[in-house]
Amino acid sequence: MSGRVKALFTRAIRVVGRFIVAVAVVGYTVLDELLFPLFHPLIRWLTGLRLFQRIGEWLGRLPSYAALVALGIPFVIIEPMKVVAIWWAGTGHIISGTIALLMAHILSLLVVERIFHAVYQPLMRIEWFAKLLGWLFAIRDRAIEMVKATAAWRSASQWARGLRAWFRRVLAR
């Protein structure tokens, strides 16, 4: 392969890669923007219950690696469900796959995210985990910055705000 062909091939791979990342980030962020406000009152109510406060306090006192296991078990069950749901939708089961993706995302918000917040401090005492999480957050933030600079983001963001306002109006009735 000549140098010019290799450079063009590398550039094409980068463009395709950025497009895939942009679609994934926009899609996931729009889903998150739509679902989190809908479930925030439920999350707030659940975290206000004494039972869930006690569970959160107990999780927060776990040793670091026990906290990692407490987070890891629901994570390895719930997060792959999202990938399966996307695959399912991609193989022609669009409604079922979309419903499965929504359910997995809701479970993630209600279970994994709550556990993550409860065990955050013990997890940050694991040096390799803290570094890995910092690295992952930096990649996420860079991808979000890249996507937010696009017209697709602005359109999707405006669409999500309109849809969220519509949901609020429907729920207020």
* pLDDT at 38 exceeding the cut of 80: no
Q: What does the pLDDT average to over 10-33?
A: 73
Distance CA 115, CA 109 (A): 10
Place of tokens 């407490």: 70
Amino acid at 59: L
**Backbone torsions φ then ψ of 92, nearest 5 degrees:** 110, -10
Residue 21: band (very low, low, confident or very high) from pLDDT cuts 50, 70, 90: low
Most confident of 41-45, 115-119, 157-161: 115-119
Structure tokens at 90: 């991609």
**Per-residue pLDDT tens digits for 116-154:** 999 999 999 999 999 999 998 888 788 778 778 888 778
